[in-house]
Structure 1
């Protein structure tokens, strides 16, 4: 049995922002870049990284305004702004070509990075990522869409009311059956809620409100997938109010050769189905991203 790789915890300055990131694996190994989702941080990858670090270099940053990274006032807290920052981060840690793990809000951010230079992307692993298919979104998205018809001030208030420790808890439990819900550690919502400041709450409002404008970018995301056809593993938990099984299958419209695996879990598979995801990822990367 292989010994688990140690995860290193570091800070680097990226575009003037103090940035926290986790790293595992040999410096010279092929890279898997792990941009995190909402309302989380690089913490979501803490258990996956040791399981793959014997063969790959895994790097998971905290976005500005999240986790242990800084929260500057003059940053562009949008999907475009985060993608530009993520590109700068890859330069700061000196990686050029890499596989991308796309989960939650990390999906539109990572996809924007891929579109900037498709040749840098060795492969995609898509795990309950925010999808670019309007007709395949889950029922919970209707709650967000309902705020789009409100005047701006009312919309922001409605979103602010939905950002609380209790809603963080609901985000992490997200449609899981009781036996699986019991495996989700409360550290997830309590840790991440403890890191919310008034400024970070405004950032979260901006990002969720930005989902409306993000719809106009969906065709560009689909075009990237269709025209570049990166090797892709889709591993999905269908018990997800936001992104159920139909969301996973929608990717096959533009990635017909993608490998699709549906697990009996939900949005946070790395908490409930870690070993299965790690094994599927290891097998996939062992075939498509070996250096």
Structure 2
């Protein structure tokens, strides 16, 4: 686990906060005025709150920006004896949000932060104010979800590798050494902005995965896909009506090699047919690294307009 006071040469200068509410030591950033609107940022695989450092600095003067690290990621604990499926992360997020008493929430979701955030929204739609998907899927009971996921997997080198590696027994040996192959993993998924790579940046993404025991979170997300262990939250009709009425925005880096726009933006538009979509040529899966200023500006402008 990353030391709580690690700032990675000042690139992540935010005070650490911790809660044991979900049954493990969960780290989160909590910046900005306590009376401000809540921006809740949810990361994916294999990143952590560091991904949102530019967005935090953009919004924390006017908004309360809360950025948790999922179980097994970032500065959060990686407990043994826990499962790391989608439904576990949804339950952890629910406990976290309720413990902090967060309401009037703008969800900013990247990668598997999308299904985690939408799972929470299905359970607590009245706590949501806006939905922002940034290269993050928005599953919400759409009837063609399974078809889109499998069609995407047929095009995605990451998902193709997961399926093959699980079948031939190499998934765990590779992901148990994620600290040594983090850059190749990021590149495989779609990371284009090589100019941000410094020793401090690389250390920030290596540090959560120093040992095999600390790779359970990253392994769980991949293994859950390969084995069909993830369970998507299905909203009831009342929750679906509420969420469909929320302001929403999709931002999609079109150089994403893991989550292809052609398969996931239709899921977003089916849920939010009149919502704006910003498609960004040349920007990869890790859009917050590839185009941090542009993404931060798009989100800030959308929040201000709505």
TM range (shorter): 0.7 to 0.9
Q: 1:192 aligns with which of 197, 205, 211?
A: 205
State the 1:79 CA deviation: 0.9
Gap regions ≥5 residues in structure 1: 1-5
CA contact (8 A) 1:30 1:57 kept: yes
CA contact (8 A) 1:48 1:274 kept: yes
State the 1:20 CA deviation: 1.5
Alignment-derived partner of residue 3 in structure 1: none
| 78-87 vs 11-20, greater mean Cα deviation | 11-20
Q: Pairwise mapping of residues 1-291 of structure 1 onto structure 2 (< 5 A)?
A: 7-130=14-137, 132=139, 133-134=148-149, 135-137=151-153, 138-140=155-157, 141-147=159-165, 150=167, 154-155=168-169, 157-162=170-175, 163-165=177-179, 167-173=181-187, 174-176=189-191, 180-185=193-198, 187-196=200-209, 197-212=211-226, 213=228, 217=232, 220=234, 228-229=243-244, 230-250=246-266, 251-264=268-281, 265-288=283-306
State the 1:96 CA deviation: 2.3
Q: In structure 1, how many angstroms separate the alpha carbons of the residues matched to 2:135 and 2:235?
A: 16
- Using the size of structure 1 for normalisation, the TM-score is 0.83
Flag the 1:184–1:65 CA change in 2: closer, same or farther, 3 A. same
Q: In structure 1, how many angstroms separate the alpha carbons of the residues matched to 2:132 and 2:57?
A: 17
State the 1:31 CA deviation: 0.5
- Using the size of structure 2 for normalisation, the TM-score is 0.79
State the 1:188 CA deviation: 4.5
Greater length-normalized contact order (CA 8 Å, ≥ 6 residues apart): 2
Q: In structure 1, how many angstroms separate the alpha carbons of the residues matched to 2:117 and 2:173?
A: 26
Flag the 1:73–1:37 CA change in 2: closer, same or farther, 3 A. same
CA contact (8 A) 2:86 2:232 kept: no
CA contact (8 A) 1:172 1:188 kept: no
Flag the 1:222–1:128 CA change in 2: closer, same or farther, 3 A. farther
Gap regions ≥5 residues in structure 2: 1-12, 140-147
CA contact (8 A) 2:84 2:216 kept: no
State the 1:227 CA deviation: 7.3
CA contact (8 A) 1:222 1:254 kept: no
Q: In structure 2, how many angstroms separate the alpha carbons of the residues matched to 1:214 and 1:222?
A: 22
State the 1:23 CA deviation: 1.7
- What SS does structure 2 have at the residue aligned with 1:32? strand
State the 1:122 CA deviation: 1.0
Flag the 1:101–1:93 CA change in 2: closer, same or farther, 3 A. same
- Tell me how many residue pairs correspond in the alignment: 275
Q: In structure 2, how many angstroms separate the alpha carbons of the residues matched to 1:226 and 1:185?
A: 45
State the 1:124 CA deviation: 0.9
RMSD (Å), alpha carbons: 2.7
CA contact (8 A) 1:38 1:105 kept: yes
Flag the 1:266–1:184 CA change in 2: closer, same or farther, 3 A. farther
